[in-house]
């Protein structure tokens, strides 16, 4: 994985959707990249809002269109 790809993985890492190998690689990168540390921290509120929204979804996770039961 190239360095530029690692920088792009900050959001996926914050969301916890990277695979095991990519998580390990990103964490190694994160240890020396202050820009990615900031990005991961900034994703914290986004992750929290997405988690809160997910709890509001009906079973199956598909929101119903407005005006439909």
Pick the CATH number of 3-55 from 1.10.3720.10, 1.10.10.1320, 3.20.20.70, 3.30.300.30: 1.10.10.1320
How crowded is residue 23: how many other Cβ atoms within 10 Å of its Cβ? 16
6-37 residue pLDDT tens: 788 999 999 999 999 999 999 999 999 999 99
CA pseudo-torsion sign 47, 48, 50, 54: positive
Q: How far apart are CA 13 and CA 8, in angstroms?
A: 9
Phi, psi angle pair for 35, to nearest 5°: -65, -40
DSSP 66: T
At which residue do the structure tokens 């190239």 appear?
2
Q: Which residue has the higher pLDDT, 60 or 33?
A: 33
According to the model, what pLDDT value does residue 28 have?
94
According to the model, what pLDDT value does residue 65 have?
66
31-57 residue pLDDT tens: 999 999 999 999 989 888 888 888 887
User: Integer distance in angstroms from the first to the last C-alpha of the chain?
Assistant: 46
Q: Which residue has the higher pLDDT, 13 or 67?
A: 13
């Amino acid at each position: 994985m190239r360095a530029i790809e690692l920088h792009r993985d900050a959001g996926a890492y914050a969301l916890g959707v990277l695979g095991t190998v990519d998580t390990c690689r990103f964490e190694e990168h994160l240890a020396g990249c202050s820009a990615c540390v900031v990005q991961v921290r900034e994703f914290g509120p986004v992750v929290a809002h997405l988690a809160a929204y997910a709890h509001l979804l009906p079973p199956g996770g598909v929101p119903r269109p407005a005006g439909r039961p």
